[in-house]
């Protein structure tokens, strides 16, 4: 009898967990969080550029990290990247299912949030010495790899469409610009960062919507 009651309790608990984990509302909320984080990032980036366009809008342009070094722009820069990290992590926490797509989105969003937060923190001090500068650039390279790998993974989850292909091309174009800038062939780091970010965020929203629709 005791074993039977324990079995009933376990079954009831499993049913509640399953019901909670497959609730489509949470997955739609995750999509909203990703979009909110991206909008916040773009909004505060516009604020930074408005306050000091010379940091990035010039021939030998720098990257977003320049805004973390100056008091005038440090606050909107921190808010932009900080909110991007926060909402990405919140979105990742909502993918609690054990299916491959949910697990992948959770890992991707958590990894993305961790790498972006590392880039953010290192951007405050990277100008102090060569070691910190190299560390900052290494983290920036890790971010490029994370976003590129994540974008390719999301693109391959479903049969290719022209819309998804366009989003992937936008993201990869940003990565190519970043690579050419790193090699010294171009000076378009800021443009590369924005283009890559927009492409990646759009792919996450597209993927999140597909996953949520499938659960309806």
Average pLDDT over residues 25-39: 95
Distance CA 4, CA 181 (A): 66
The end-to-end CA distance of the chain, in Å, is 38
Q: How much is the mean pLDDT over the chain?
A: 86
Token pair listed for 196:
């890559």
pLDDT, tens digit (0-9, with 9 covering 90-100), for 170-187: 999 999 998 888 777 777
pLDDT, tens digit (0-9, with 9 covering 90-100), for 93-146: 999 888 899 999 999 999 999 999 999 999 999 989 999 999 999 999 999 999
Residue 150: partners with Cβ closer than 8 Å, 6 or more residues away: 108, 111, 112, 200, 203, 204
Distance CA 43, CA 24 (A): 29
pLDDT at 63: 79
Token pair listed for 126:
């990277």
Domain positions in the chain: 25-214
**Residue 66 vs residues 29, 131, 152, 184, 205: alpha-carbon distances, Å:** 33, 17, 29, 18, 28
B/e letters for 38-77, b = 16+ CB within 10 Å, e = fewer, are: bebbbebbebbbeeeeebbeeeebebbbbbbbeeebeebb
pLDDT, tens digit (0-9, with 9 covering 90-100), for 45-96: 999 999 988 777 666 667 788 888 888 899 999 999 999 999 999 999 999 8
């Amino acid at each position: 009898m005791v074993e039977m009651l324990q079995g009933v309790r376990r079954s009831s608990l499993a049913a509640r967990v399953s019901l909670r984990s497959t609730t489509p509302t949470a997955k739609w909320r995750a999509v909203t969080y990703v979009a909110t984080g991206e909008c916040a990032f773009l909004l505060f980036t516009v604020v930074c550029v408005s306050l000091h366009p010379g940091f990035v809008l010039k021939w030998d342009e720098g990257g977003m990290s320049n805004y973390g070094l100056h008091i005038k722009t440090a606050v909107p820069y921190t808010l932009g990247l900080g909110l991007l990290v926060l909402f990405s992590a919140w979105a990742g926490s909502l993918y609690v299912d054990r299916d491959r797509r949910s697990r992948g989105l959770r890992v991707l969003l958590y990894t993305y949030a961790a790498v972006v937060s590392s880039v953010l923190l290192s951007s405050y001090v990277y100008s102090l010495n060569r070691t910190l500068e190299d560390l900052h650039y290494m983290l920036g390279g890790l971010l490029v790899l994370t976003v590129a790998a994540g974008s390719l993974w999301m693109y391959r989850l479903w049969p290719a469409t022209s819309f998804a292909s366009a989003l992937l091309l936008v993201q990869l174009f940003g990565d190519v610009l970043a690579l050419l800038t790193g090699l010294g062939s171009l000076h378009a780091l800021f443009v590369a960062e924005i283009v890559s970010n927009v492409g990646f965020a759009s792919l996450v929203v597209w993927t999140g919507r597909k996953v949520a629709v499938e659960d309806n």
